Amino acid sequence: DWTLTDGVLTVSGNGPMDDYSSGEAPWYDYRYDADTLVLREGITRIGNYAFADCKFTEVFSIPSSVNTIGRNAFENSGTYPSLTVPATVNTIGAYAFRDCGMKTLTVSCKEISGNDAFSGCDNLETLTLDKMTAHEKEKLAITYAELVYNGQWFTPLREALAAFVDKTQEKVTGKVRLK
């Protein structure tokens, strides 16, 4: 069951949510109207693509009844400031939070499908880089792309830029520390 009232998408039920393909969740047509998501206790699994492409801007929480977050469940789902995944969640599927704009993430999960569950979450990376390094990295990405496009892979400049990127990624491992 779900409702959308005054920008709040509320989803309730008991047991696992259905899995969806991209663009097929029942609330998908209203994805730009929902600023906030409320998931009620009783849901045990968040289905594949359930909230993909929704544009949430407010903090929401995942209820403690949830034990699994499906593949691509929250992919590209907005710029909410923080998210806490409860310790009851045992599994986070591949690309579950890909390209999300969250800035703070707390996870106590036992199993994450690969290192890609949080891929493209650039705002999480900014927590590990100082402002000037992040700014330079953004500028140099264009130069790096031009070198690759122009077949300049084996040049000293491309190697130097790769070393810079490697240095900036020392603390951005793609791994999530488990509590």
Q: What is the pLDDT of residue 124?
A: 60
pLDDT tens across 120-144, in order?
Answer: 666 665 545 566 777 788 788 889 8
* Residue 77 pLDDT > 90: no
Query: What's the CA dihedral at 38, 80, 61, 23 to 10 degrees?
Result: 50
Q: What is the pLDDT of residue 178?
A: 43
Q: How confident is the model at residue 171 (pLDDT cuts 50, 70, 90)?
A: low
Please tell me the distance from the alpha carbon of residue 175 to that of residue 133, in angstroms, as a whole number.
Answer: 21
pTM: 0.67
* Residue 174 pLDDT > 70: no
**Amino acid letter, residue 155:** T
Beta bridge partners of residue 8, listed in sequence order: 5, 36
Please tell me the distance from the alpha carbon of residue 112 to that of residue 62, in angstroms, as a whole number.
Answer: 16
Q: Is residue 78 classed exposed, middle or buried when 0-12, 13-18 and 19+ CB atoms within 10 A define those classes? A: buried
Question: E strands, the chain, where?
Answer: 2-5, 8-11, 15-16, 36-39, 43-46, 68-69, 82-85, 91-92, 104-107, 111-112
pLDDT tens across 9-55, in order?
Answer: 999 999 999 999 999 999 999 999 998 899 999 999 999 999 999 88
Q: How far is CA 149 from CA 8, 103, 140, 154, in A?
A: 44, 32, 14, 12
Helical axes 131-149 vs 156-168, angle rounded to 10°: 140
Q: Is residue 173 classed exposed, middle or buried when 0-12, 13-18 and 19+ CB atoms within 10 A define those classes? A: exposed
Please tell me the distance from the alpha carbon of residue 45 to that of residue 137, in angstroms, as a whole number.
Answer: 38
> DSSP secondary-structure letter at 78?
B
